[in-house]
């Protein structure tokens, strides 16, 4: 009976560690579905903010559509998943959020237990793009950063090129 209790306890501890590790990976925007290393570049994937005024500056309190998709004209790679954040420019790490994401579709959700907002995918299925609504903060510059899991086997991209976008208030 003592051996059984030890095995159950060990399994419980290992299970908790696995949950914590997975949560930490999502919170740091590192895919948990692959052991492959990050692929350099953005492979045409980029973050777009639709509805901004022509000068590219946001209006505080306004809601915009943030889109992550492949904008490369010659590539048609879809994405399987994303992890997206918006932080104040002056933030030294990703623990602060800027503005507020609204998650309007079944394709994305807010990651749990991160201490800051990470928008992530629900399912690893092919998508052409991900759209979420974002309400701008009262002031300051905002940095959007994304991790994209490509449909191309074992390829994922993070923060390079078009996967980082800076916008500021009027």
- The predicted model scores a pTM of 0.80
Q: How far apart, in whole angstroms, are the C-alpha atoms of residue 24 and residue 126?
A: 24
Structural fold of domain 2-167: Immunoglobulin-like (2.60.40)
Residues near 100 by beta carbon (within 8 Å), at least 6 away in sequence: 117, 134, 135
Give pLDDT, residue 93. Answer: 82
Give pLDDT, residue 37. Answer: 92
Give pLDDT, residue 157. Answer: 96
pLDDT along the chain (170 residues), means of 10: 42 32 63 87 95 95 95 75 92 88 76 80 81 95 95 90 96
Burial class (CB in 10 A: 0-12, 13-18, 19+), 55: exposed
Q: How far apart, in whole angstroms, are the C-alpha atoms of residue 103 and residue 112?
A: 13
Give pLDDT, residue 73. Answer: 65
């Amino acid at each position: 009976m003592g051996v059984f209790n030890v095995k159950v306890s060990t399994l419980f501890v290992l299970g908790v560690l696995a949950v914590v590790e997975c949560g930490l990976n999502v919170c740091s925007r590192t895919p948990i579905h692959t052991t492959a290393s990050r692929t350099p570049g953005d492979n045409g994937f980029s973050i777009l903010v639709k509805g901004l005024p022509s000068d590219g500056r946001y209006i505080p309190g306004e809601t915009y559509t943030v889109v992550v998709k492949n904008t490369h004209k010659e590539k048609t790679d879809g994405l399987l998943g994303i992890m997206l954040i918006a932080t104040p420019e002056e933030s030294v790490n990703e623990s602060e959020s800027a503005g507020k994401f609204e998650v309007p579709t079944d394709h994305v959700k807010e990651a749990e237990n991160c201490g800051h907002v990470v928008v992530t995918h629900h399912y690893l299925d092919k998508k052409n793009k991900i759209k979420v609504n974002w309400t701008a903060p009262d002031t300051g510059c905002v940095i959007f950063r994304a991790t994209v899991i490509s449909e191309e086997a074992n390829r994922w991209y993070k923060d390079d090129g078009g996967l980082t976008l800076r916008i500021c208030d009027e």
